[in-house]
Amino acid sequence: MNLNVAASKAMPQTITQKIMARAAGLTSVKVGSQLRVKPRFVLAYDFPGVMDVVFKQLKTEFGIQRMRDPSRYGLFIDHMVPPQKPSEEAVHEITRNWANANGVALYEREGIGHQVAAEKGFGLPGALVVHFDRHVSALGAFGTLAFGIRRQILEAFAFDEVDMQVPQSVKIIFRGRPPAGVMARDVFNHLIARLGPGNCCDQVLEIEGPAIAKLSVDDRMTICGLATFTGAVSAIIVPDETTISWLRSKTDKALEPLYGDSDAEYAAVHEFDLSEVSPYVVIPPSPANVVPLAEIAGQHIDQGYIGSCVSGRLEDIRAAAHVLKERSIKPGFRLNVIPTSQNIMREAMREGLLEVLMKSGAFVSASSCDYCYGKIQALAPGQFALSTGPLNIPGRMGSTEARVYIASAATIAASAIEGQIADPRKYFSAH
């Protein structure tokens, strides 16, 4: 299959410019231009004070009784799952009723929305997608330009088009292959360590290079889903045959990838040799505090969490099972493994990974966002956690007096064995 799309004749364009031009009905656009663009898909998860308010405003402020094109929208119930209070179930019921009344697709208890969106074919190459949550950038793994537009999501539901400015792009070139025991999470943290947490402010990371072919779809989603921690507004990986093959197994929607021109202008170009990447740990209280694992090895940890919208995929569960196979978690250590979607959980079950994890002493449960932000298995004051979640700010997983470190699933599995932050690479060389 020839995946190339003819380059713009008007002016050299990045992949970001081309996608935004397509969404605006134009042949080309300039960086900094203010546009009215029509997103291919508008996505959201229900959460108190967000979508329940939007649904009310659509009717009371805009007089919208029914969405004109329901196929453009997708809703996810993935927080407060299962609900613990009547008020939480009431929020879910508002979402169910609105979706049913408007013919909008609703995915409940199928997993975390950003992952389920990919599984349901919302991450199409060359498409513009919006959500109020910035981690929707995970769909960039498929050549999708996905933005978190926060409260502007009301505009996306009320009108066909939204106002957006064309951002600058930063080209990221990956070469080499990560060593055994080094995961996509480490690759991203290496990027932060090199670039800094604000060096790509309000820009899009356009990721390409020969190493992409060696990265799985899971790896790509992890890297793109974390883009906001470089200051970027999104990330996108140039689509290839891996992208197309994965999507064909999930959707029958038309695939129309776009590619940047070779002479397009970028705010900066950075190259990374992935063979030089080692494990990293993010130290509280900020996701910007990235350090090599060697600098923090030996730090006592009480609890581990493998899951969330940015990790908890099959590659993460496989890595954890590899480390923990025929080994036991240190007594007193609590390891929670929460697959990112029910589909991932079923596949992990078929591969025997969940049995390995449970035999080691891990607690495995169905997909939910609630472990990530401390609604379930909250930390007490003075406790230490090692997480694959996106944030480690005070109070993220419970008490503001607890401390949350972030690392890869492999590192967390190794740390669960030792009860302290540990380098996972020795467990990969041991098998």
- Give residue 10's pLDDT: 63
- Give residue 31's pLDDT: 97
Using one digit for the tens of pLDDT, what is the confidence trace for 166-175?
A: 999 999 999 9
pLDDT surpassing 50 at residue 239:
yes
pLDDT surpassing 50 at residue 141:
yes
The 3-class SS string of the chain reads CCCCCCCCCCCCCCHHHHHHHHHHCCCCCCCCCEEEECCCEEEEECCCCCHHHHHHHHHHCCCCCCCCCHHHEEEEECCCCCCCCHHHHHHHHHHHHHHHHHCCEEEECCECHHHHHHHCCCCCCCCEEEECCHHHHHHHHHCCEEEECHHHHHHHHHCCCEEEECCCEEEEEEECCCCCCCCHHHHHHHHHHHHCCCCCCCCEEEEECHHHHHCCHHHHHHHHHCHHHHCCCEEEECCCHHHHHHHHCCCCCCCCCCCCCCCCCCCEEEEEEHHHCCCEEECCCCCCCEEEHHHCCCCECCEEEECCCCCCCHHHHHHHHHHHCCCCCCCCCEEEECCCEHHHHHHHHHCCHHHHHHHHCCEECCCCCCCCCCCCCCECCCCEEEECCCCCCCCCCECCCCEEEECCHHHHHHHHHHCECCCCHHHHHCC
Q: What is the mean pLDDT of the chain?
A: 95
- Give residue 4's pLDDT: 40
Q: How confident is the model at residue 1 (pLDDT cuts 50, 70, 90)?
A: very low
Asked: is 15-274 a CATH 3.30.499.10 domain? The reply is: yes
pLDDT surpassing 60 at residue 146:
yes
Using one digit for the tens of pLDDT, what is the confidence trace for 375-418?
A: 999 999 999 999 999 999 999 999 999 999 999 999 999 999 99
For the chain, residues classed under CATH 3.30.499.10 are 15-274, 280-423
- Give residue 5's pLDDT: 39
- Give residue 292's pLDDT: 98
| CATH no. of 280-423 | 3.30.499.10
Using one digit for the tens of pLDDT, what is the confidence trace for 70-80?
A: 999 999 999 99
Q: What percent of the chain has pLDDT above 90?
A: 95
pLDDT surpassing 90 at residue 259:
yes
pLDDT surpassing 90 at residue 270:
yes
User: Quick one: average pLDDT of 263-267?
Assistant: 97
Using one digit for the tens of pLDDT, what is the confidence trace for 10-43?
A: 689 999 999 999 999 999 999 999 999 999 999 9
pLDDT surpassing 60 at residue 3:
no
